[in-house]
Chain A
Amino acid sequence: MVPFAGWEMPVQYDGVGAEHEAVRTTAGVFDVSHMGEIETSGPQALDLLQRLLSNDVAQIPVGGAQYSVLCREDGGVLDDLFTYRLGADRFLTITNAANHERDVDWFRRWAPEFDATVEDVADRYAMLAVQGPRAREIVQAASDRPLPARMTVGERTVAGVRMLVCGTGYTGEDGVELLLPPADAGRVWDDIVRRGAKPAGLAARDTLRLEACFHLYGNDLSEDRGPIEAGLGWACKEDTGFIGADAVRGARVNGAGSERLVPFKITGGGIARQGNPVVGGGVVTSGTHSPSLGIGVGLAYVPSERAEPGTSFEIDVRGKLRPAVVTTKPLYVKDSNGKDSDG
């Protein structure tokens, strides 16, 4: 267990390799209760969120989910978030633990212009992520009704507990995330483990998300970088007029600064880590050993003109130059045999 943002975090149970493998081949369950939640409701809840979030919130159907970033006026990224539309006028936004209080303050700062209520509901929810090819089957067996499809959310009774079941995740595998009362989380966890999901810690969560090329705030995203640089232009709809839209539009049209976030593979052995400089400009923001690929992988900001997949570059790993190559997303692709078939 390690402390993080006021939480005691389970880094690993049985070992990161075995936990990673379980999620890629069967199922794993993660306790991600450190994630925060903000509920936005009221007649103008949609308008408030349209102002705050980079994506087009009006496109989320009731029961739907959407990824977006939260920008400052200058386009710097405050957080990256999933928002679930629980009703026409009721939304639940999932925050990163380390950013939660800042996000709540930011929501409240803009709320007075709208007929909407912002509630910090982080204490109301524990969060369990069940991920892997067998994840749905395992949760389905404990559920009263068919589970919500990918990118949708619905109330279900799972293991006797009323909860929100979300067809989302952070591993590149199919699965669900469960938002439930903290008092019931222990026995739901036990039930899901008994049904065959392997307890998995945050070390495996990190190797899994990195193979899938999902951003981690604090590593790959920060206030000093905009969403275009970070490769999140797809989650930005400037025409909605969100805070930071002008800066994001400018970056999209004129080229966002001089760097781009790219996935990479180490080609000659070794592992690059967060903070290792890219030779010729840029920096590694996430780096690890990929259990699925058996090599060093990561995400790095590199000069825009060298961001094309296939471009070779070098990373200064504690004084040793490690050759690497820019790859396409995601780093790990599962084929029908369950083996990797990355490009």
Chain B
Amino acid sequence: MADASYPDDLLYHPEHDWARIDGDGLATFGITWFAQDALGEVVFIDPPKVGTTIAAGEAYAEVESVKAVSDVVAPMSGEVVAVNAALGDGPEAINDDPYGDGWLVQVRLSDPSERDGLLDVAAYTALLD
């Protein structure tokens, strides 16, 4: 497993999710290093389908580790335009690279101003202490 890290170019939701604003009204979501560490080895993802509308603060996917299952909460609202299909055969990418190969979905944001309600890296990591 990778060492603890929290990139400073991401926005964070207190439920241990991250969002990367990609531009053109798109954003990519995933779970944080803290979340994957708490879960342990991820063995299964139940992702939403492309086209699903997801709402900030609500669960949009399930991540299962050997020991537990966890809902993944959407940091922002929108329509899913892509899911990381590689996680189907390689869910361990969430552990190995939670901010890169371990991304979960890309979303067309319905309210880009929701970003103002998210945490920056300092605020999020303060939450973990």
Contact = CB atoms under 8 A, between A and B. Distances in A.
B14 interface: no
Contacts of B40: 12, 15-16
B66 A289 contact: yes
Contacts of B43: 271, 289, 291
A269 interface: yes
Contacts of A17: 41, 66
Interface of B: 1, 40-41, 43-44, 46, 64-67, 69
Interface string A1-36: 000000000011001110000000000000000000
B66 A269 contact: no
Given A15-B1, A289-B64, A273 B69 contact: yes
B7 to A, nearest CB: 24
* Best-buried of A16, A207, A291 by chain B (most CB within 10 Å): A16
Given A11-B67, A203-B66, A270-B44, 5 more contacts: A16-B41, A16-B66, A203-B67, A271-B44, A291-B66
A222 interface: no
A236 B64 CA distance: 38
B44 A288 contact: no
Contacts of A207: 66
A218 B77 CA distance: 43
Contacts of A11: 67
A3 to B, nearest CB: 16
Interface in A267-308: 269-271, 273, 288-289, 291, 296
Chain A, interface residues (CB within 8 Å), range? 10 to 19
Contacts of B66: 16-17, 203, 207, 288-289, 291
B86 to A, nearest CB: 15
A273 to B, nearest CB: 7
A318 B69 contact: yes
Contact of B41 (A15, A270, A271, A318): A15
Interface string A107-121: 000000000000000
Nearest to B65: A289
Contact of A296 (B1, B41, B44, B67): B44
Interface in A25-61: none
Nearest to A207: B66
